[in-house]
Amino acid sequence: MSKQKYLDNLFEPILVINNKNEIIYYNHFFSTFSGLSPRKIKKIENVSSLLSSIDNKISLDQQIDKVRKDGGVSVSKEGLIKFLESEETFNCVLKVNQVDEDEVLICFNDLSIEKSIYDKYRKQVEELKVSYKQLVLADKLKSIGELSAGISHEISNPLTIASGNTEILEILLETQDDLNSKEDILEAITNIQSSLLRINKITLNMKKFVHEGVKSKQFVSVDKLIQSSVGLVSPSFERLGITLTCEHNSDISAYVDELAIEQVLVNLLKNALDSVENSNNSIKEVKVYTSLDTKNNSFSISIEDTGSGIKEEVVDLIFNPFFTTKELGEGTGMGLSLSSQIIEEHQGEISLVQNSDNGCIFSVVLPSAEISNYLELETRNSNLDDNETSKVLVIDEDYLNLNFYTTLNEQCGGSFLVSRSISKSLQLLESININKVIFGESLFSKDNVNSILAMEDDIEIYVYSETDNISEVDIRGIITLPLNKEDVLEKLEINLGVDDEV
């Protein structure tokens, strides 16, 4: 009996029942916890009537029967219970334990607070997600607003050309007496068409930029990313007479959420523009350039301006939310903070790498496309290497093809790793066990296949239907172009079994 004194000091509710299911002991805390006074507990003839399971996840009777039959311990699921006539509910896990031949111990683990805080947390996270989405959109709209003067200028130029050419057409048609005018008419039409195309391109670019897309990563050329961001800001640069130069490096590819990275670049370019515009420095120029860091498997995009730099005392604050150097009401101060959040979501880093009276350099460092893709797969499949499904490496330079496979990963839980180069592919093979390799047309060669097989000789090789010289190597299968899901999965003999929603 003295042992029960110990139990009375516990902050965990405990009951002991006998073979007749009568409560022969409860500790002090059980009374407090259940709200049942000793008087009420005494009236309970059978422990079966003690509590009811509201969500039917807990059956105390079954647990008791089980431990009586098999011995040992029975732990219930987490479920909602209430005691006797009480209205109060508890989220509990019940543990039933055969302590000796005729006594069974019942322990209650009350998780009500955890559950309610967890629910609250989930709700707040959802709300935060919504606010974040709104913030991202607001930032984009603000950027477009600030760039609108330049953009409208960019539209009005071709509009003037187009309307001028319609006047020419009118005159030509009124006076169509000789055949010479046919050439002039064609020229005017060409001018109108190209002007309209220019306008169309600008508006499409804007529309895409503010589009609230689903967050999804794609293989994309870094050049293309820069070009579409530059396309949005360059009219504003032209209007203010500030030079904007881009250095090209068509070799770099990224695996990113294209729109999000564009938003970051537009933010950085716009800041650079503002900084140069407000500076008295005689050189007015912004440069965008990229560089590849093969050693660290990353690349960077840098934006260099000739503005007056950022004041020493605020340098540490620039990535904070709501920080702005602009007049009240001009900027939300969210640009850099959002940008750094977006880059962090890409496992990258944004930083101010140089800052002086003669300008700044902001740099965005992102992991190489192959690494990003690998990390994403790894996160999704938790432990990729232990995973049962076949792991397929796609070595292809074609962005459309690569994105086909990453979409398969996303939609059907596939395990496609993709790469745009042989050297990167060999690196991936070093760290992960690959079963199959698909070669794109441009990267297929006997040497390339052999270098892959030299790493792992039982890898199965696949090529596309349009590939030449396939007779030189041992091919496991030929995949039909253009790519389609059924064909690819069938040829690779992969069963993802997620076709039920089709």
Binding site for another protein (CB under 8 A): 8, 11, 28, 31-32, 37-39, 113, 117, 120
Q: Which is nearer to another protein, 55 or 119 (CB)?
A: 119
**What is the closest distance, in whole angstroms, from the C-beta atom of residue 113 to another protein in the complex?**
6
Q: Which is nearer to another protein, 32 or 484 (CB)?
A: 32
**What is the closest distance, in whole angstroms, from the C-beta atom of residue 11 to another protein in the complex?**
6
Say if residues 378 and 420 touch (Cβ distance below 8 Å). Answer: no
Q: Which is nearer to another protein, 125 or 171 (CB)?
A: 125
Q: Which is nearer to another protein, 11 or 322 (CB)?
A: 11
Q: Which is nearer to another protein, 111 or 137 (CB)?
A: 111
The torsion defined by the Cα of 327, 329, 335 and 336, in degrees rounded to 10, comes to 30
User: What whole-number distance in Å separates Cα of residue 396 and Cα of residue 419?
Assistant: 6
DSSP string, 106-132: EEEEE-HHHHHHHHHHHHHHHHHHHHH
Q: Which is nearer to another protein, 120 or 122 (CB)?
A: 120
One-letter amino acid of 46: N
Helix (H) or strand (E) holding 103: strand 103-110
Helix (H, G, I), strand (E, B) or coil at 99: strand
User: What whole-number distance in Å separates Cα of residue 450 and Cα of residue 475?
Assistant: 12
- Provide the 8-state DSSP code for 305: E
**What is the closest distance, in whole angstroms, from the C-beta atom of residue 377 to another protein in the complex?**
38
User: What whole-number distance in Å separates Cα of residue 502 and Cα of residue 493?
Assistant: 19
Say if residues 23 and 46 touch (Cβ distance below 8 Å). Answer: no
**What is the closest distance, in whole angstroms, from the C-beta atom of residue 117 to another protein in the complex?**
6
**What is the closest distance, in whole angstroms, from the C-beta atom of residue 42 to another protein in the complex?**
12
Say if residues 206 and 232 touch (Cβ distance below 8 Å). Answer: yes
**What is the closest distance, in whole angstroms, from the C-beta atom of residue 77 to another protein in the complex?**
23
**What is the closest distance, in whole angstroms, from the C-beta atom of residue 116 to another protein in the complex?**
8
**Smallest Cα–Cα separation from 373: which of 396, 350, 389, 340?**
396
**What is the closest distance, in whole angstroms, from the C-beta atom of residue 32 to another protein in the complex?**
5
**What is the closest distance, in whole angstroms, from the C-beta atom of residue 114 to another protein in the complex?**
10
Q: Which two tokens stand for residue 425?
A: 């592919």
User: What whole-number distance in Å separates Cα of residue 243 and Cα of residue 230?
Assistant: 12
Q: Which is nearer to another protein, 125 or 498 (CB)?
A: 125
Q: How many helices (H) and strands (E) does the chain have?
A: 14, 19
Say if residues 281 and 359 touch (Cβ distance below 8 Å). Answer: yes
Q: Which is nearer to another protein, 107 or 437 (CB)?
A: 107
Q: Which is nearer to another protein, 20 or 122 (CB)?
A: 122
The partner residues of 106 in beta bridges, in order of sequence, read: 15, 96
- Provide the 8-state DSSP code for 249: -
- CA 415-421-425 angle, to 5 degrees, is 45
Q: Which is nearer to another protein, 88 or 456 (CB)?
A: 88
Judging by beta carbons within 10 Å of its beta carbon (0-12, 13-18, 19+), is residue 316 exposed, middle or buried? exposed
Judging by beta carbons within 10 Å of its beta carbon (0-12, 13-18, 19+), is residue 342 exposed, middle or buried? buried
Helix (H) or strand (E) holding 151: helix 112-174
Say if residues 444 and 397 touch (Cβ distance below 8 Å). Answer: no
**What is the closest distance, in whole angstroms, from the C-beta atom of residue 37 to another protein in the complex?**
4
**What is the closest distance, in whole angstroms, from the C-beta atom of residue 410 to another protein in the complex?**
37
Strand order in the sheet with 349-356: 243-246, 285-293, 298-305, 359-367, 349-356
Q: Which is nearer to another protein, 124 or 203 (CB)?
A: 124
Q: Which is nearer to another protein, 38 or 213 (CB)?
A: 38
**What is the closest distance, in whole angstroms, from the C-beta atom of residue 343 to another protein in the complex?**
33
